[in-house]
Amino acid sequence: MEVPEGKVHARVQDGWVTLSGEVEYDFQRREVERMVRQVRGVTAVTDFITVKPPVSPEKVQAVIEDAFRREAEVDARHISVEVSDDTAKLYGQVHSLHEASAARTAAASAPGVATVESHLVVSP
């Protein structure tokens, strides 16, 4: 079992261990809690570890493109999306600044996206 270093933190007070942090898989969260419970002197464990699965760029791109199709203010036919790491890049033409803003908002709301680079051109 491998939990990435620095992802989980433990605070101990009077034998009570409080776990916090983030892991990619639930089995990692359960294993950390199991290991801590085996430590001598531990009387209780509170587990605040969150599970945040890795997101593939292809999945993020699909989520953004689906959001464009649902968004009445965005004409998805003229926008392409590229995703790398936590950045979504938007390319293409839109009909207004409002449409460009709606496209940026839809992309920013996709899971795993931290930054949106808009290379959209407004062409009425």
Instruction: Please give the structure tokens belonging to residue 80.
Output: 């392409």
The answer regarding whether domain 57-122 maps to CATH 3.40.50.620 reads no
Query: What pLDDT is stored for residue 39 in this prediction?
Result: 95
CA 99 to CA 12: how far, in whole Å?
51
Distance CA 63, CA 71 (A): 12
Inter-axis angle of helices 57-70 and 97-108, nearest 10: 140
pLDDT of residue 1: 56
pLDDT on residue 76: 85
Residue 80, SS3? strand
For 49-80, write each residue's pLDDT tens digit: 988 877 888 888 998 999 898 887 888 889 99
90-109 burial: b if 16+ Cβ within 10 Å, else e: bebebeeeebbebbbebbee
Per residue in 18-61, pLDDT (tens digit) is 999 998 888 889 899 999 999 999 999 999 998 887 788 888 89
Any alpha helices (H) in 40-117, and if so which ranges? 57-70, 97-108
pLDDT at position 24: 83
In tens, the pLDDT along 75-121 reads: 888 999 999 888 999 999 999 999 999 999 999 888 888 889 999 99
Question: Which residues 6+ apart lie within 8 Å of 67 measured at CB?
Answer: 106, 107, 109, 110
Instruction: Give me the residue spans of the domains in the chain.
Output: 8-51, 57-122
